[in-house]
Amino acid sequence: MICNNLSVNEEGHLCLGGQDTVMLAAKYGTPLYLMDEDRIRERCRVYKKAMCEAFGESAMPLYASKAASFKQIYRIMKEEGMGVDVVSSGEIFTALSAGYPLEHAYFHSNNKTDEDIAYAMDNGIGYFVVDNREELDAIERIAAEWNLTQKVLLRLTPGIDPHTYAAVATGKVDSKFGSAIETGQAEEMTLYALSLPHVHLVGYHCHVGSQVFDSDVFLRATAIMLDFASKMKEKHGFELEELDLGGGYGVRYRDEDPEIDIYANILQVGMAVKAQCTALGLKMPAVRMEPGRSIVADAGMTLYNVGTVKRIPGYKNYVSVDGGMTDNPRFALYHSSYTVLLANRVNDDKSTFRCSVVGRCCESGDILQEDVPMPEDVRRGDLLAVLTTGAYNYSMSSNYNRIPKPPVVMLHEGESYVAVKREAFEDVCANDI
């Protein structure tokens, strides 16, 4: 199994966090998002421990909450002592509603509106990760009006290709995010930020990409960022206080995906940062990392009920489920791989039948996965599980075709509870006049 929170019980049922998915589906209905809270907490602790060991006590992981954003996640992050990365006023509102202390929140986005900036500042956001000059102007203007000094980091592009899919590669010079070091714009932004009386520039941020397996990427990004920081110190006297290396560690969606030892990798980055700071005469900065996927992805699973099974002789087989691109648009968007199993009979022979697992939306692109091995007699009423759906599934879900969103049920120490309720039809048209 791709993650050690998965198992199969004596009845041949798939279990997550030791709990029988057939029982969970019977209790909560389908489609259903499951989230293994214990696994999420374990991942947070791995990051905290590794970063503390690698970079010292001042280091802190920030959970990139775009991966899965709902109130209970922010409560868990608060309890685990994690900072958070937020990217919209909606995420800020959710965090606030959960009682998350916003001084530990870092506000991203390449296009924050004046309303976003005012809302975040009004609620005491810790940091803005500033993308561009217009944003700096708006922060300065609003901070001056309110007579406060706002802490900011500048988002820079180190010019690195992370070898992942195009939609999530962000560290290259031509990215829509941040200011490039190579073009001189990062230096211009530094000078400009230093000149603004209501802005306190504390450091630099970069995020090279997501679902990254090349363990070299963080090392290369770190080297470029610290080299730039030392130039800014020499030329403009800017002393780096914080260095935020972004998120991006890849996770296993299938057996053949590699497994990254995140703990070991972070220790390696730590050694590189220390060595380089010494060599460049820089003070060791407070280091931040922003994992999203690697905190929540393999804590998650989606359960569906099998409906129509269509066999087109000589062509193709389709197994349709009661969800689809509305709860998981990632295959439609990125052709993402997933492991798919029949949760009610995991051990049945799957060697003779292949199918496309599709959703119930009115379009052919509504596919969850292609070429999936299944028991030959897969039929209406079977329970189908898509594994590793904890990241970027619920958070990217939609109401296309007016399909209500599934609930999120958390699993914790042998118990289960609803963290997000199943939407009703009334919720889907709640704002219709």
Q: How far is CA 405 from the centre of its chain?
A: 19
Question: Toward ligand LLP, which CB reaches closer, 106 or 304?
Answer: 106
Contact stretch for ligand LLP (CB under 6 A) within 195-203, 234-242, 287-295, 315-323: 287-295
Q: Binding to ligand LLP by residue 392, rule CB under 6 A? A: yes
- DSSP code for 175: -
The structure tokens listed for 176 are: 């829509």
Q: Residues 218 to 257: which contact ligand LLP by CB under 6 A?
A: 246-248
Task: Supply the minimum distance, in Å, between the C-beta of residue 172 and ligand LLP.
Answer: 13
Q: Binding to ligand LLP by residue 292, rule CB under 6 A? A: yes
390: helix, coil or strand?
A: coil
When binding is defined by CB under 6 A, the residue of 3, 16, 67, 121 that contacts ligand LLP is 67
Sign of CA dihedral 368, 370, 373, 379: positive
Question: Toward ligand LLP, which CB reaches closer, 64 or 385?
Answer: 64
Q: Residues 87 to 116: which contact ligand LLP by CB under 6 A?
A: 108
What pairing do the DSSP bridges indicate for beta strands 83-86 and 60-64? parallel
Q: Binding to ligand LLP by residue 207, rule CB under 6 A? A: yes
The structure tokens listed for 200 are: 């306190």
The structure tokens listed for 147 are: 């007579």
Question: Toward ligand LLP, which CB reaches closer, 168 or 260?
Answer: 168
Question: Toward ligand LLP, which CB reaches closer, 17 or 292?
Answer: 292
Distance CA 28, CA 398 (A): 20
Q: Binding to ligand LLP by residue 390, rule CB under 6 A? A: no
Q: Binding to ligand LLP by residue 294, rule CB under 6 A? A: yes
Q: Is 44 noted as a catalytic residue in this protein?
A: no
Looking up tokens 């009920």 gives 305
Residues comprising the chain, all counted: 433
Question: Toward ligand LLP, which CB reaches closer, 119 or 218?
Answer: 218
Residues contacting 394, CB < 8 A, separation 6+: 33, 68, 70, 300, 327, 405, 408, 420
Q: Binding to ligand LLP by residue 178, rule CB under 6 A? A: no
Looking up tokens 């087989």 gives 317
Nearest alpha-carbon partner for 67 in 411, 254, 330? 330
- Which residues form the catalytic set? 362
Binding residues vs ligand LLP (CB under 6 A): 64, 67, 85, 108, 168, 170, 207, 210-211, 246-248, 290-294, 330, 334, 392
